Amino acid sequence: MCRDQSGAINFTNVLNSSDCQPVELVEEGTWAELTHSSGYYDYTNSHGSSDSTRYDYEIRRIGRRYNVDPSLIKAIIHTESDFDDQAVSRCGAQGLMQLMPGTARDLQVSNPFNPQENIDGGTRYIRSLLDNFNEDLVLSLAAYNAGPGLVSRTGGVPNIPETQNYIEMVLKRYKVYKATW
Q: Is residue 57 part of a domain?
A: yes
Model confidence at 102, pLDDT cuts 50, 70, 90, reads: very high
Q: What is the pLDDT of residue 12?
A: 64
Give whole-number Cα distances, 123 to 10, 31, 106, in Å: 29, 24, 13
Closest listed residue to residue 88, CA positions, set 79, 131, 65, 97: 97
Average of per-residue pLDDT across 96-117: 97
Given a contact cutoff of 8 angstroms between Cβ atoms, the answer to whether 3 and 20 are in contact is yes
pTM to 2 decimal places: 0.74
Could you give the CA distance from residue 71 to residue 57 in angstroms, rounded to a whole number?
12
Q: What is the CATH number of the domain that holds 145?
A: 1.10.530.10
- Kindly tell me the burial class for residue 112, based on how many C-beta atoms sit within 10 Å of its own C-beta (0-12, 13-18, 19 or more): buried
Q: Work out the average pLDDT over 122-133.
A: 98
- The yes-or-no answer on residue 80 being catalytic is yes
Range in 2-11, 18-27, 28-37, 54-63 with the lowest mean pLDDT? 28-37
- Given a contact cutoff of 8 angstroms between Cβ atoms, the answer to whether 138 and 157 are in contact is yes
Residues 136-157, mean pLDDT to the nearest whole number: 97
- The structural domain count of the chain equals 1
pLDDT of 106 > 70? The answer is yes
Helix (H, G, I), strand (E, B) or coil at 31: strand
Position 115 in a domain: yes
Inside any domain, residue 75: yes
**Which of 58, 80, 162, 168 does the annotation list as catalytic?**
80
Residue 39 placed within a domain: no
At residue 1 the predicted structure's pLDDT band, cuts being 50, 70 and 90, is: low
